């Protein structure tokens, strides 16, 4: 029996579709989260008791712009891998799970004006980010490392979210 060893490997996505798949979902989450968050900052969020380690409001969009950029670039690197690369599909699923949870947090915390709902979502988000880092790391260490600051920021945000819930519960 003859097997064709010269069959072409499954290639990565072409550059433009890869760029769009990496960037558009991240931008969509960033914009939708901002739309639900921004109106609540000068009203509801301003009225909450917050701990002394709360950063100034201007720090959040700066941090998130950097983190979303790094997330999209990390995902772009994973999408550059051959489609048949073992672990690539599960890494893509992990990325989208954490991205949905990322957006859901804004809707729970700010949209629902519920620190406890935000806390539940953000704990799930941490688990999903860790799973994504592990999946990315196995395929592309740079892609995995690009998500480490995101995990650090979300861990800090979890402490902040939990403390706000405790102070206002």
Question: Structure tokens of 5?
Answer: 């060893």
What's the rounded Cα separation, in Å, for the pair 140 and 77?
Answer: 8
DSSP track, 29-78:
HHHHHHHHHGGGIIIIIHHS---TTPPPTTHHHHHHHHHHHHHHHHHHHH
Q: What is the CATH number of the domain that holds 117?
A: 1.20.1260.100
CA distances from 104 to 36, 86, 99, 156, 167 (A): 10, 29, 9, 18, 22
What's the rounded Cα separation, in Å, for the pair 35 and 29?
Answer: 10
Question: What is the per-residue pLDDT for 10?
Answer: 62
pLDDT tens-place string over residues 11-47: 666 888 999 999 999 999 999 999 999 999 999 999 9
Question: What is the per-residue pLDDT for 3?
Answer: 43
In a domain, 100, yes or no: yes
For CA atoms 94, 95, 100, 104, the dihedral sign is positive
Q: Is the pTM of this model over 0.95?
A: no
What's the rounded Cα separation, in Å, for the pair 143 and 135?
Answer: 10
Query: Into how many domains does the chain fold?
Result: 1
In a domain, 1, yes or no: no
In a domain, 68, yes or no: yes
Residue 88: give the domain boundaries.
15-48+58-168
Question: What is the per-residue pLDDT for 14?
Answer: 83
The list of the chain residues with pLDDT below 70 reads: 1-13
Question: What is the per-residue pLDDT for 54?
Answer: 97
In a domain, 10, yes or no: no
């Amino acid at each position: 029996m003859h097997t064709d060893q010269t069959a072409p490997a499954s290639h990565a996505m072409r550059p433009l579709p890869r760029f769009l798949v990496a960037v558009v979902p991240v931008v969509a989450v960033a914009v939708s989260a901002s739309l639900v968050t921004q109106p609540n900052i000068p009203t509801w969020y301003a009225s909450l008791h917050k701990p002394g380690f709360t950063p100034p409001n201007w720090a959040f969009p700066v941090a998130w712009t950097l983190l979303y950029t790094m997330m999209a670039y990390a995902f772009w690197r994973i999408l550059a891998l051959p489609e048949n690369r073992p672990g690539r599909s599960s890494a893509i699923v992990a990325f989208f799970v954490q991205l949905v949870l990322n957006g859901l947090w804004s809707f729970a915390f700010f949209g629902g004006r519920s620190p406890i709902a935000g806390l539940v979502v953000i704990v799930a988000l941490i688990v999903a980010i860790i799973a994504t880092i592990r999946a990315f790391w196995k395929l592309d260490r740079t892609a995995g490392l690009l998500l480490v600051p995101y995990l650090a920021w979300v861990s800090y945000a979890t402490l902040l979210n939990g403390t706000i819930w405790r102070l206002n519960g």
